Amino acid sequence: MRVVIAEDAVLLREGIARLLDHAGHEVVAIVETGPDLIDAIVQHRPDVSIVDVRMPPSFSDEGLRAAIEVRGKVPDSPILILSQYVEEQYAGELLETGAQGVGYLLKDRVADVSDFLAALEQVAGGGTVLDPEVVSQLFSRRRRDDRLGDLTPREREVLSLMAEGQSNAAIADQLFIGAGTVEKHISNIFSKLNLDDSSSQHRRVLAVLAYLRE
C-alpha cells in the first residue's frame, strides 16, 4: 500500500515508517502539519493516510480538521486517525464525513503491530475501525429507551466488536465461536435493537454506530 504519514513527533513518525516499511508498504510522504497533509493527499492519492490529531501550529485538533477537510476534496480517501486520547466526540465528527475508509485509534495501539497493520488494511479497504475505548464510551452512554439492556452478555460482546469495525470472521476468531453463530447473534441483535439488517457488512456497522450515537 502507498501511505501518507502526518505526524509531528519524530520518534513516533520514524517508528511508524519503519513498521510500515517492514510490513512491505510504501511511505510516499511524511508531513507535519494539517495543510501539508491536504496537499500530500491531493497530490499522491495514497491508499491510506495515518494522521495524528494533534499537530503544529496550535497543537489542538488540526489533524482531525485536515482529515475532515480533505475528505471533502478527495472523497473516500481512507484515513486512520491516531490520537493520544480518544473521545467519542471526535469519532462522531469524523464519521459524519462518511464512515467508509475511516479509522480512529488510540496511539498506543501501534504497539500491537499486527493488530495495527490489520486495522490499517481494513481502513484502506473502505472499512471502519473504531478504538475499543470509543466503543465503550458509546456503550456506557445512557439512552432514554435502553434497548441495549435486552441483549445477552454474549450479544453485547458481539455488538461492541462490530462497532469497532471487526469483520464477522474476526469476531468469530476472537470469541472462539463459529461464523454461523456470529451471524445468528448479529441477526438477534438487529431484531432486538429494531435495526435494519441489511446484507452488507459495512452498512451493518454503520447502523450499529448510528444506534450507539443517537
Partner 1 sequence: MAEVSIADDGVGRQFPYRNPLRALISSEPWLALIFMFTSFVIGLFWFVVLVTLLSTGVSMAVTLVGIPILIGSLFAWMYGAKFERRRVHGLLGVTIRDPYKPVPVDGSFWEKLKVRLQDRYIWQDLLYLFLLFPIGLAEFIIGITIVSMAAASVTAPIWALFGGWEVDSGWSLFDSALTGAGMMFVVGCLVLFAMPYIFIGIGRGHAWLARHLLGSDREAELEARVDELTVSRSRALDSAVVDLRRIERDLHDGAQQRLVKLSMDLGLAREMMESDPEEAKSLIDVAHEESKRAMQEIRDLARGIHPAVLTDRGLRPAVSALAARSPVPVDLNISLDDRVPARVESAAYFIIAEALTNVARHSQASAATVTIRRFGDLLLVDIEDDGVGGADMNRNGGLAGMRDRAVALEGRVVVESPPGRGTLVHVELPCGSS
Q: Which residues bind partner 1 (CB under 8 A)?
A: 54, 60-61, 84-85, 87-90, 106-108, 111-112, 136-138, 140-142
Residue 39 or 108: the one with the smaller Cβ distance to partner 1 is 108
Number of H helices, E strands in the chain: 10, 6
- We find the least distance from the C-beta atom of residue 2 to partner 1, in angstroms, to be 29
Closer residue to partner 1 (CB): 48 or 159 = 159
Least CB distance to partner 1 at residue 93 (A) = 9
Work out how close the CB of 109 gets to partner 1 at its nearest, in angstroms, rounded to a whole number: 9
Closest approach of Cβ 200 to partner 1, in Å?
29
Please, which residue, 139 or 198, has the CB nearer to partner 1? 139
Q: What is the DSSP letter of 9?
A: -
Nearest residue to 72 (alpha-carbon basis) of 94, 53, 50:
94
Nearer to partner 1 among residue 114 and residue 200 (C-beta): 114
What CA–CA distance (Å, rounded) separates 72 from 78?
12
CB-nearer residue toward partner 1: 58 or 198 = 58
C-alpha cell at 1: 500500500
The string of DSSP letters for 161-188 reads HHHTT--HHHHHHHHT--HHHHHHHHHH
Instruction: Give the Cβ contact number of residue 68 at 10 Å.
Output: 16
Q: Smallest gap, in angstroms, from Cβ of residue 49 to partner 1?
A: 21
Give the list of residues 6+ apart from residue 130 with CB closer than 8 angstroms, or none. 91, 103, 104, 105, 163, 164, 165, 209
Contact 116, 86 (CB under 8 A): no
